[in-house]
Structure 1
Amino acid sequence: MNIKSLLETELWDVIEKNYHNENYTGAIDDAVFHIRDIIREKSTLENDGKDLINQAFSEKNPKIKLNKLRTKHEKNIQTGVRDSLLGIWGLIRNTRNHEKHDDTIEDAFSIILHINYLLKIIGKAKSSFSIDVFITSVYDKHFEQTEEYAKLLVNEIPSKQLEDTIFHLYGNIKNKINIIDSGYYDEVEAYLLDENYRNFQSLKLVFVEIMNRVDENSRKEIYIKMSLDFKTLDACIELFWKVYLILEQWEELGKRIKLRLTNIIVENFDDYELKEYQNKIFIEGWDYFDDATQAKIKDLYIHDTSDYYLEESKLKYKVNRVPIKIQAPLKIPEIDINEDEIPF
């Protein structure tokens, strides 16, 4: 019987080379290492061997829960998988580490099929970290908007999932924005505006914290993605939120992108829906803008008849409510964004 047709695709991809070359001991090792990596990924643990298995599938506080662990039957499944994995490590992996083995195709067939069976069970288990749950926590109305709280929340992200998390967080922005159509005097609209500001600030705090933890390649990827958006998105709250996230890297953006963004902001200066976000960009991005951009902003406010004003060459403002101020040190490691790397 063809073993390929019986295995999960990922497992077959891992063992295929050694199995075809009739290196059955190597194929067994590949399968064992694969299930170890799956357990690490789901549990967010970095250790190995019996320690990894016991922590991941412990009875009291398992990192991987195969079910609700309420009934005796459910608990038997949890301990059974744990014990089976311990057996694989003790009988199969460790023995092959300490002495040479020359496994037959029958050995490989039976061992790999058993690992495949365990992988199917573990694959249905809930991971201890969920990106969707994390994003919900970012926009939680009880999010304490401080740097400390953001750090504690980001601490929950496994290092291997930092990049995926920030891409999901960035891609989810437009789903977290309330569109405001009327003035402050409508209580519902005023509440939605406040909710936008709360989400706005929470996102910034978490975004900065993650960007300080990912490696340079990951930061580069997210900046390139944002640059693509800046080349195509028209005026909307989503665009203004994304500009606000990258203010610290304004100087690193390509000249055409900066000119386009400035033009969008200037052209939509009187748009009520965008006004509040626009002003936060002007205020917190002032020191990053060049002289020409600052001059355009000054001209807008000099001719503005609303209650926004300039004082001592610095943009200041007042509104009929207390503005939210970002408390995090908005500092992200610098990185060059080469426009040649952007596909258009």
Structure 2
Amino acid sequence: MVDEDALRAAALAQRLAAELAEYSRGDVSAAEGSQAASADVASIKTSFDERIVDGDLRSATRSRFHTEHYADAVEAGVKCLCDVIRSRSGSVEDGDALMTSTFSPKAPVLRINAGRSKNDESEQRGHMMLCQGVVGSWRNPRAHSLIEDSPERTLMMLEMIQSLIETTKSSTRTRKRK
């Protein structure tokens, strides 16, 4: 048995030595990788500046994004969406209640289209549900737990939020503010 233990220990030592050698060689490529990562971060920051053009969203998220606080940028972006919806609708609600009371297909406060056909009703419902989904799946988890978002994923989420903000800003109020 001692021989088997010795053989296992020797095999483990060889694997560890091989891994150590691999990591030691990786120092040069790690430095190159770090430079590439810096270039990628600069590129994604430029992409943010080119692609996030809504003034409200940009104001709420740019400093967070540029300082690499990506989850905070997403949370702030969703809060900005809610603020735009509240401002346009006059509602004081938040979350699902805000989206339902504002974009309800049957009696919306804000109408995103003419509302004359089943397709219009479906589009209205879809916008309401997308807004609800963004709050439920993007804002709430980041508000209640620590989440790490990549810059690419953050930019994708902010672009979606921007689209929802643009649609909301171009909507028509159908009844007086509450």
TM-score, scaled to structure 1: 0.37
Deviation digits for residues 28-51 of structure 1 (CA, Å, limit 9, x no counterpart): 111101100010011110011100
Query: 1:6 is matched with which residue?
Result: 51
Contact 1:42 1:128 in 2 (8 A): no
Distance 1:97 1:64 in 2: 27
Q: Secondary structure at the match of 1:100?
A: coil
Query: 2:72 is matched with which residue?
Result: 26
Contact 2:89 2:177 in 1 (8 A): no
Task: Give how far 1:123 is off.
Answer: 1.3
Residues 97/157 of structure 1: CA separation in 2 closer, same or farther (3 Å cut) = closer
Task: Give how far 1:108 is off.
Answer: 0.7
Contact 1:64 1:125 in 2 (8 A): yes
Contact 2:72 2:142 in 1 (8 A): no
Amino acid at match of 1:117: S
Deviation digits for residues 152-181 of structure 1 (CA, Å, limit 9, x no counterpart): xxxx566xxxxxxxxxxxxxxxxxxxxxxx
Amino acid at match of 1:5: E
Q: How does 1:72-111 map to 2 (within 5 A)?
A: 72-111=118-157
Give aligned-pair identity as a percent. 24
Deviation digits for residues 207-259 of structure 1 (CA, Å, limit 9, x no counterpart): xxxxxxxxxxxxxxxxxxxxxxxxxxxxxxxxxxxxxxxxxxxxxxxxxxxxx
> Paired residue for 1:37, among 83, 91, 100?
83
Distance 2:58 2:146 in 1: 24
Distance 1:119 1:46 in 2: 17
Distance 2:84 2:172 in 1: 12
Deviation digits for residues 79-111 of structure 1 (CA, Å, limit 9, x no counterpart): 111111111111111222232111110221111
Runs of 4+ in 1 over 2 A off after TM superposition: none
Q: Secondary structure at the match of 2:109?
A: coil
Distance 1:54 1:120 in 2: 18
Distance 2:166 2:148 in 1: 27
Distance 2:138 2:150 in 1: 14
Answer 1 or 2: higher relative contact order, Cα 8 Å, separation at least 6. 2
Amino acid at match of 2:155: F
Q: Secondary structure at the match of 1:102?
A: coil
> Paired residue for 2:96, among 50, 53, 57?
50
Amino acid at match of 1:74: D
Query: 1:63 is matched with which residue?
Result: 109
Task: Give how far 1:128 is off.
Answer: 4.6
Residues 124/157 of structure 1: CA separation in 2 closer, same or farther (3 Å cut) = closer
| Structure in which a larger fraction of residues adopt helix | 2
Contact 2:61 2:73 in 1 (8 A): yes
Farther off after superposition, 38-47 or 67-76? 67-76
Residues 128/75 of structure 1: CA separation in 2 closer, same or farther (3 Å cut) = closer
Residues 68/118 of structure 1: CA separation in 2 closer, same or farther (3 Å cut) = same
Larger radius of gyration: 1
Q: How does 1:1-344 map to 2 (within 5 A)?
A: 2-7=47-52, 8-128=54-174
| RMSD over aligned Cα atoms | 1.6
